[in-house]
Amino acid sequence: MTVDDWIAQLTTSEEEARQAAVETLVATGRSAIPALLGELCTTDSESVATACIQALDRLGPLIHEPVLRALSGFHTEAATEPMSPTESRLCRLLGISHIHDAVVYAKDGFSANFWVRKQVADDIGCHGIPDYGFVLAVLLGDSNGAVCHAAAKSFAAVGRPLVPMLQQIRRSALPTRRAALEVLATIGWDTIDSTDLMLLTRLMNAEIARELPSIPSWTSCLWWALPTEDQAAVLDAFGLSDPIPATAAMGAAVARKNSGLLYASAQPDQVYVSPALDGWTLVFGDPISQYPRDENRIRRAREDDYFTFFYADEPEEERAAWLEQHARPSRKERSVELSARFGAAHWYKVVDAYDWGGWCIAENGEIKRLAHQGDGVSDLDLDSDHDPHPSEHGLRAESVSEWLSTHGFAPEMWDEISDEILQRTLGKPPDDQNAEWDAAWAKFQQHTGIPDEMTASLIAERTSIGPGGLGPHTRVTGQGVIALTEHGRQGGGHRGVLRLRTDE
DSSP per-residue letters across 441-455:
HHHHHHHH-PPPB--
pLDDT tens per residue, range 448-486: 999 998 888 899 999 998 877 788 888 999 999 999 998
Alpha-carbon 449 to chain mean position:
43
- Enter the pTM of the model: 0.81
User: Is pLDDT above 50 for 332?
Assistant: yes
pLDDT digits (tens, 9 = 90+) for 34-65: 888 888 888 888 888 888 888 888 989 998 99
Maximum Cα interatomic distance, the chain, rounded to a whole number of Å: 104
Cβ-based neighbour number of residue 33 at 10 Å: 21
What sections of 229-288 are H helices per DSSP? 231-237, 248-258
Give pLDDT tens digits for 486-496.
889 988 899 99
**What is the pLDDT at residue 86?**
82
Which one, of 387, 391, 405, lies nearest residue 450 by Cα?
405
Q: What is the mean pLDDT of the chain?
A: 86
The pLDDT assigned to 18 comes to 80
Among 71-85, 147-161, 266-280, 447-461, whose mean pLDDT is lowest? 71-85
Q: Give the DSSP letter string of 61-99.
A: GGGHHHHHHHHHT---S-TTSPPPHHHHHHHHHHT-S-S
Is the pLDDT at 228 greater than 50? The verdict is yes
Minimum mean pLDDT range among 22-26, 130-134, 394-398, 478-482: 22-26
- The answer for residues whose C-beta is within 8 angstroms of residue 151's C-beta and 6 or more apart is 121, 136, 137, 139, 140, 142
Question: Are 283 and 271 in contact, with CB atoms under 8 Å apart?
Answer: yes
The rounded distance, in Å, linking the Cα atoms of 95 and 53 is 11
Give the closest residue to 347 by CA, choosing from 291, 289, 280, 267: 280
Task: Give the residue among 93, 94, 190, 177 at the shortest CA–CA distance from 140.
Answer: 177
**Which comes out higher in pLDDT, residue 343 or 105?**
343
283, 244 in Cβ contact below 8 A?
no
Contact 481, 254 (CB under 8 A): no
Task: Measure the CA–CA gap between 258 and 270, rounded to whole angstroms.
Answer: 8
Secondary structure, 3-state, 112-136 = CCHHHHHHHHHHHHHHCCHHHHHHH
Q: How confident is the model at residue 376 (pLDDT cuts 50, 70, 90)?
A: low
- Answer whether 265's CB lies under 8 Å from 325's CB: yes
SS3 content of the chain, % helix, strand, coil (to 5): 55, 10, 35
Say how many C-beta atoms besides its own lie within 10 A of residue 50's C-beta.
15
Contact 68, 134 (CB under 8 A): yes
